[in-house]
Amino acid sequence: MHQGTFTFTQIERITFGQPAAKALLAEAERLNAQRVFMIVSGTMNRTTDEVAKVRAALGGRFAGLYDRMPSHTPRDAVLEAARDARALNADLIVTFGGGSVTDAGKLLQLCLRHDISEYDQLDAYHVRVASDGKTVIPAFDGPKVRQIAIPTTLSGGEFQAGGGGTDTRRKVKQSFKHPLLVPRVTILDPAPTVHTPMWVWLSTGLRAVDHATEAICSPVTNPASDASFVQALKLLSRGLPRVKAAPGDLEARLDCQLGVWLAMAGRTGGAQMGASHAIGHVLGGSCDVPHGYTSCVMLPPVLRYNRSVNAERQKLVAEAMGHAGEDAAEVIAAFIKGLGLPERLSEVGVTRDQFAMIADHAMHDSWLHTNPRKITSVEQVYEILEMAA
């Protein structure tokens, strides 16, 4: 008999297929927000009119913006944005951009709630994982100034209550978690995403494939979650190639966005990520590999590593992607190759002399310890890294 619990997040609304400016104004009015502070993609702000359209729609509700957030959300930049938002007395945070921008909004909420203005103050709030896999999530009050997310990539952070930020002094990416850190509203508008670089769109889409795949292969499963993950893979496996072939296909782009939503929604049923995500966190925070690329190079090797314990579950992945009866690792590897994305660690600048550091840091990531095939030593991480080299 199936057993489990669905723990729903604090997301209030998801709007899709409507212009972002129109949808955001409606939400700002609904929430009676008077001082909206935006964290936006710098490139999009400087080279397109998408941010200007949103600012114009907000009118007098617009308070200010920050457009200098680097990849992987470094602490210094978050603190700088927080100083600006605090000075403007912001009552709503809007993020408009990729995963690093979305995460910045989450950490900004935390900084505003707890008056965090110094680098080391964030140490008290990040999740800690011991080498035995035990996770310690600090208890703290949730934010009062909440976030609306308008994502322009497919990384999916807008649907989860955890946010990532990089401690650049220690060169490690850390997680911050609280139920209210999840954006209150997410607006899915495919139109602004035509400005997202194709490699970013496709690689973060592969990240979403990774979310759904590791969730399907998780030891914690149920039919309702499986339905969500399978549909996510169907949408992503047909939508991503269509966007690559026709970048202006907004319906295909929306299919991808909805696929990301489904990949994350099913996780409310308790599905856990595995080694692809765990090692990917280290590749991002410590080796500066872009979010999506980490999944491109790690997901097939991790599937091969886990095949001995979850081959039946992996069959669901291959079938959802239109290749029933084939090996899931090879199906996804071929899919990655077809999208023109990197396939090996060497292609993203990671060399064997970094393996010791990667393996050591990965042992402190909670997802490594929920991998379907139990990992208890750095030697096992080395084995996966060698498969990916």
Q: Residue 205: is its pLDDT beyond 80? A: yes
Mean pLDDT of 95-113: 97
Listed residues 172, 191, 210: the one ending a domain? 191
Per-residue pLDDT reduced to its tens digit, 41-86:
999 999 999 999 999 999 999 999 999 999 889 999 999 999 999 9
State how far the Cα of 138 lies from the Cα of 118, in Å rounded to an integer. Answer: 18
pTM of the model: 0.93
Per-residue pLDDT reduced to its tens digit, 346-361:
999 999 999 999 999 9
State how far the Cα of 141 lies from the Cα of 180, in Å rounded to an integer. Answer: 9
Mean pLDDT of 300-323: 98
In a domain, 69, yes or no: yes
Average pLDDT, the chain: 95
* Residue 274 sits in the same domain as residue 372: yes
SS3 at position 135:
strand
**Is the sign of the CA dihedral 310, 312, 313, 317 positive or negative?**
positive
Mean pLDDT of 181-195: 98
Mean pLDDT of 140-168: 95
In 3D space, the residue among 259, 300, 252 whose CA is nearest the CA of residue 276 turns out to be 300
- Rounded to the nearest 10°, the torsion over CA 335, 152, 228, 126 is 100
> Which pLDDT band, with edges at 50, 70 and 90, does 131 fall under?
low
Would you state the pLDDT for residue 172? Answer: 86
Q: Which residues of 275-306 are buried (b: 16+ CB within 10 A; e: fewer)?
A: bbbbbbbbbbbbbebbbbbbbbbbbbbbbbbb
CA 77 to chain centre: 19
* Residue 185 sits in the same domain as residue 224: no
Q: Residue 112: is its pLDDT beyond 90? A: yes
How many domains in the chain?
2
- If one counts every other C-beta atom within 10 angstroms of the C-beta of residue 229, the result is 29
Per-residue pLDDT reduced to its tens digit, 271-307:
999 999 999 999 988 899 998 999 999 999 999 999 9
Q: Which residues pair with 36 in a beta bridge?
A: 62, 92
State how far the Cα of 351 lies from the Cα of 345, in Å rounded to an integer. Answer: 7
State how far the Cα of 381 lies from the Cα of 338, in Å rounded to an integer. Answer: 27
In a domain, 251, yes or no: yes
Owning domain of residue 348: 197-388
Q: Residue 155: is its pLDDT beyond 80? A: yes
